[in-house]
Amino acid sequence: MTSIMDFIKEFSELVKKSPHMNVNANNVENCPYGDYIYNCKNCYLCFELGGSQNGFYLQNCMKTKDCVDCSFARWSELCYECLNIERCYDCNWCIDCGDSHHLTRCFDCNACNDCFGCVGLKHKKFMIYNEQFSEEEYKDQIKSIKFDREKFKGLTLKTPRQNLHHSKSEDCVGDYIYNSKNCINCFDINNMENCIYYNAGNFNSPDKDCCDMQDASGCELCFDSFSLGYCYNCDFLIESDRCTNCAFGFGLDSCKDCFGCAYLKNKQYYILNKPHPKEEYEKRIKEIKAELIKNNQYCLAAVAEALR
């Protein structure tokens, strides 16, 4: 029987000798100089992007259109240099704003429109530094107004703000959690249920019953993995999609019951990229898992170590 150290060594050699993709992208068109991009078109120098088009310099954004220099923007259009916005239109230099349009240099404003330099507003319009104006006065003032940094800073210091950013969520602990339920210690997630220790699941496909995950979407019963898409019951995978019952792998696509494999597609009952009969596969997997667990190497760290 192959020793556990030989298994780790063979897996490491398998990963290192396999040709690696230069970028992680799926169903994209004209999206140069980016990585981790899915279902996008005409996006330049963007990273961790889903369902977006005509974007420049975006990071961790979802369903955006004609946006530039934004991070954590969702369902937004014609926005520039914004951070953590949702369902915004034609907003510039805004942070933590949602369901708004035509905002400039605003912070923590929701369901607002036509506001400048405002903080902590809800359901307001035609406001400048939290002061109300008529529509005519606002349009006249906005033509020549200049941003007063000190005045805006004073507003941010004296205006109460929420300690957490939760929306349409129930029984959740963490921050920037949307449309989720029963999620503990999770951050920057959307559409999730019964998840623990999850970071950056922002591509609008529900995840359920997952733990220790990052940058994944549409997964269920997955554990300690990075950059997964639509996987079921998978552990310790990196950059893999549409897999079922797989573990300890890298770059898998549409595989089932594969262990210790790299860059396989549409395969089943493989160990170290070699096919096995179902009965032999199940027997060997039990033995390998037991040895890995005994040596504290049945973890994502061991997979990551093989990539070095």
How many domains would you assign to the chain? Answer: 2
In a domain, 246, yes or no: yes
**How confident is the model over 215-232, as pLDDT tens digits?**
888 999 999 999 998 999
Compute the average pLDDT of residues 80-93: 97
In a domain, 7, yes or no: no
Q: Which one is predicted more confidently, 163 or 308?
A: 163
**Model pLDDT, residue 3:** 60
**Model pLDDT, residue 202:** 63
**Model pLDDT, residue 5:** 63
Q: Give the CATH number, domain containing residue 49.
A: 2.160.10
**Model pLDDT, residue 53:** 97
**What is the domain range of residue 81?**
31-158
Percent pLDDT > 90 in the chain is: 74
Same-domain pairing of 191 and 275: yes
Is 2's pLDDT higher than 70?
Answer: no
In a domain, 169, yes or no: no
Same-domain pairing of 293 and 192: yes
**Model pLDDT, residue 26:** 84
**How confident is the model over 48-62, as pLDDT tens digits?**
998 999 999 999 999
Q: pLDDT-based confidence at 4, cuts 50/70/90?
A: low
Same-domain pairing of 44 and 80: yes
Question: Could you say which of 158, 188, 217 is where a domain stops?
Answer: 158
**How confident is the model over 149-173, as pLDDT tens digits?**
999 999 999 999 888 899 889 999 9
Same-domain pairing of 184 and 302: yes
**Model pLDDT, residue 269:** 97
**Model pLDDT, residue 58:** 97
Q: pLDDT-based confidence at 293, cuts 50/70/90?
A: confident
Same-domain pairing of 226 and 150: no
In the block, tokens 């999620």 appear at: 183
**Model pLDDT, residue 1:** 46
**How confident is the model over 92-118, as pLDDT tens digits?**
999 999 999 999 999 999 999 999 999
Q: pLDDT-based confidence at 19, cuts 50/70/90?
A: confident
Same-domain pairing of 112 and 234: no
Question: Could you say which of 158, 184, 203 is where a domain stops?
Answer: 158
How does the average pLDDT of the chain come out, rounded?
92
**pTM of the full predicted structure?**
0.85
6-20, 60-74, 127-141, 146-160: segment of lowest average pLDDT: 6-20
Question: Could you say which of 158, 186, 211 is where a domain stops?
Answer: 158
In a domain, 146, yes or no: yes
Q: pLDDT-based confidence at 268, cuts 50/70/90?
A: very high
Q: pLDDT-based confidence at 25, cuts 50/70/90?
A: confident
